Structure 1
Amino acid sequence: MSDDAFEAAYGRPAELAWHAPGRVNIIGEHTDYNDGFALPAALPLGVTAQVAARDDGVIRASSVQDDDAVTVPIVDLAPGSVQGWAGYVVGVIWAFREAGHHMPGLDIVVDGSVPIGSGLSSSAALECAVAGAVDDLFGLGSTPADLITVARRAENDYVGVPTGALDQSASVLCREAEALFIDFRSMDTRRVPLDLDGAGLRLLVIDTQARHQLADGEYAKRRAECARAAELLGVPMLRDIDDDGLAGALERLTDPVLRRRARHIVTENARTLQTVRVLEGQGDPRAIGALLLASHVSLRDDFEVSCRELDLAVSTAMDTGAHGARMTGGGFGGSAIALVDDTDTDAVTDAVQGAFAEAELTAPVIFAMQPARGAHRCDE
Structure 2
Amino acid sequence: MTDLAQRGRAFFTSQFGYAPEGLWSAPGRVNLIGEHTDYNDGFAFPLAIGMRTAVAAGLRTDRLLRVTSESFPGVVELDFEALTPENLQGWAAYPLGVAWAMSRAAAERGPADSLPGLDLALSSDVPAGAGLSSSAALECAVALALNELWGLGLERPELARIGQLAENGVVGAPTGIMDQSASLLGEPDHGILLDCRSLQTEAVPLGFARGSLSLLVIDTRTSHSHADGGYASRRRACEAGARALGVDALRDLGPKDLPRAAAVLDPETFRRVRHVITENQRVLDTVAALQAEGPGAIGAFLDASHLSMRDDFEISTPELDLAVSSAQQLGAIGARMTGGGFGGAAIALVRDADAGTVAEGVAQAFARAGFIAPNIFPVTAAGGARREP
The TM tier, using the shorter chain, reads over 0.9
Cα distance in structure 2, aligned partners of 1:103 and 1:95? 13
- Asked if 1 retains the 8 angstrom alpha-carbon contact of 2:157 and 2:199, the reply is no
Kept in 1: contact 2:171–2:227 (CA 8 A): no
2:181 is matched with which residue: 160, 164, 169? Answer: 169
2:28 counterpart SS class: strand
8 Å contact 1:80–1:87 — kept in the other structure? no
- Alpha-carbon separation, structure 2, partners of 1:140 and 1:237: 32
Matches of 1:239 and 1:82, distance apart in 2: 33
Q: 2:218 aligns with which of 206, 214, 221?
A: 206
Could you tell me how far 1:37 is from its partner in structure 2? 0.5
Deviation at 1:27, TM superposition (A): 0.4
On the 8 A contact 1:28/1:268 being kept in 2, the answer is: yes
Give the deviation of 1:348 after TM superposition: 0.5
Q: Matched residues in 2 for 1:372 and 1:115: separation?
A: 16
Is residue 90 of structure 1 aligned with residue 102 of structure 2?
no
Q: Say yes or no: does 1:320 pair with 2:330.
A: yes
**Alpha-carbon separation, structure 2, partners of 1:107 and 1:16:** 11
Deviation at 1:268, TM superposition (A): 0.5
**Equivalent position amino acid for 2:282 in 1:** R
Tell me which residue corresponds to 1:191.
203
1:329 paired to 2:335:
no
Task: Give distance in 2, aligned partners of 1:68 and 1:309.
Answer: 34
- Retained in 2: the 8 A contact 1:16–1:137? no
- The residue that corresponds to 1:363 in the other structure is 373
Give the structure-2-normalised TM-score: 0.95
Q: 2:255 aligns with which of 239, 243, 248?
A: 243
SS in 1 for 2:210: coil
* Structure 1 contact 200–342 (Cα < 8 Å) conserved: yes
Question: Normalized against structure 1, the TM-score is what?
Answer: 0.97
Aligned: 1:350 with 2:360: yes
Q: 2:318 aligns with which of 308, 311, 314?
A: 308
Tell me the CA shift for residue 46 of structure 1.
1.6
Is the Cα–Cα contact under 8 Å of residues 61 and 108 in structure 1 kept in the other structure? yes
Q: Deviation at 1:350?
A: 0.3
Which of these residues, 225, 228, 240, is aligned with residue 216 of structure 1? 228
Gaps of 5+ in 1: none
Conserved 8 A contact 1:260-1:302: yes
Residue type of the alignment partner of 1:13: A
1:214 alignment partner, SS class: coil
CA shift for structure 1 position 176: 0.4
Matched, 1:276 2:287: yes
SS at match of 1:162: coil
RMSD over aligned Cα atoms: 1.0
Measure the CA separation in 1 of the matches of 2:232 and 2:50: 29
Which of these residues, 305, 314, 329, is aligned with residue 295 of structure 1? Answer: 305
Query: Could you tell me which residue of structure 1 aligns to residue 21 of structure 2?
Result: 15
The letter for the 1-side match of 2:322 is: L
Equivalent in the alignment of 1:374: 384
Aligned to 2:162: 150
**SS of the residue aligned with 1:348?**
helix
Calculate percent identity across the aligned residue pairs. 49
- Out of 76, 82, 87, the position equivalent to 1:81 is 87
Deviations 1:186-219 (A, max 9, x none): 1111111112111101100011011011111111
- Structure 2 residue aligned with 1:124: 136
- Supply the distance in 1 between the matched residues of 2:292 and 2:115 (Cα, whole angstroms): 47
Give the secondary-structure state (helix, strand or coil) at the position aligned to 1:134.
Answer: helix
* Residue 51, structure 1, aligned to residue 57, structure 2: yes
The aligned amino acid for 2:156 is: P
